[in-house]
Amino acid sequence: MNTKIFCDIADLSSIAQFNKKSIVKGFTTNPSLMRKAGAKDYKSYSEQILKVCKKKPISFEVFADDQKSMIDQGKKISTWGKNVYVKVPIVNTKNKFMGRVIKELNNKDIKLNITAVYSAKQTEKILKVINKETKVIISIFAGRAGDAGKDPIPEFKKSIILAKKFKNVEILWASVREPYNFLQAKQLGCHIITIPPSIIEKIEKFGKSFNQLTKETVKAFLVDSKKSQFKL
């Protein structure tokens, strides 16, 4: 499985840097990343990003909490560029399934990235309201599930099987915690994994032997002990 790497970032300089990398096939953002990047005006900042990322797919998330406003925002965001995916949370803050939002935007041929998904049951609910033509990404949050003591792997396996009937649907491994997650995503057959810049840089250095890693680790400990001038 050729799992595509997307870069999870909203910082303009980082997007400019990682857009040049052939290993990076697309980008994902969210309101938290946009705020961290210093965005004051959502649309104008997104347009700045799109001046840099002109061809690779990029997801911009709606930030409303009611269905009507989400639909309105989704329609507007979709007009910003042909490479734009509208990111929609599977539920709102009241834990209400956003099926109406997903269905309406999907039926208008708007590419979607359904986010904050954790289970195969949620994947199944999404698949019941979409067509089999317009592109849809389903983002399953592996790292956050693991942080809560939940094993995300069975949910990925079931979701990937469910999505096989839909050639327009891609399963995305979200909330990466370590470089090895990329290999896990590939082994499972995930279509995409979205990764922060620092971890992408580590993936680019894959290939070191255990002996090399042992030597580097021991050397680092020795260097630090000398810098600290430890004595016994």
Do 52 and 15 touch, CB atoms closer than 8 A?
A: yes
Ramachandran area for residue 60 (φ above 0: left; ψ -120 to 50: alpha; else beta): beta
The residue count of the chain comes to: 232
Q: 77: closest CA among 89, 65, 86?
A: 86
Residue in the block written with tokens 């998330």:
61
- List the structure tokens of 122: 């949620």
Q: C-alpha angle with apex 207: 203 to 208, nearest 5 degrees?
A: 110
Q: 160: closest CA among 128, 115, 187, 120?
A: 120
- List the structure tokens of 232: 């016994």
Please tell me which residue in 36, 51, 68, 87 is annotated as part of the active site. Answer: 87
Partners of 89 in the beta sheet? 115
Please state, as a whole number, how many other Cβ atoms lie within 10 Å of the Cβ of residue 106.
24
Is 87 a residue of the active site? yes
Q: Rounded distance, CA 67 to CA 18, Å?
A: 34
Phi, psi angles (nearest 5°) of residue 172: -115, 130
Question: Among all residues, which ones are annotated catalytic?
Answer: 87
